[in-house]
Amino acid sequence: AVVGEPFYVTTTDPDAGTRQILDTISDLLPPESQEIRTPTDEELALTYPPGYQGDPTSEAERRPGTDT
């Protein structure tokens, strides 16, 4: 499906280009996507893989790529 008008990145700077792309995508999203809020525990649970048995509160400090 096509959504919105064609878009072209107008810079050769990768960081600025990425920002342009993300801003353009954000402009297509509904207004509630712009609200900053903290998800509930129930909403977060919907994002866990099927059969997740862990304790998400015990992993607050763990970040991908930092395990040694």
Tell which wins on pLDDT, 42 or 1: 42
pTM of the prediction?
0.54
Is residue 50 domain-resident?
A: no
Query: Which structural domain, as residue segments, surrounds residue 26?
Result: 1-32
| Within-domain flag for 66 | no
Mean pLDDT of 33-60: 88
Mean pLDDT of 12-26: 96
pLDDT value, residue 63: 67
Residue 22 covered by a domain: yes
The contacts found for 20-23 with CB under 8 angstroms, 24 or more apart, are: none
Closest CA to 55 of 37, 43, 67, 41: 41
Q: Looking at the 3D structure of the chain, how many domains does it have? A: 1
Domain annotation covers residue 67: no
Q: Residue 67: which pLDDT band, with cuts at 50, 70 and 90? A: low
Give a yes or no: residue 52 inside a domain.
no
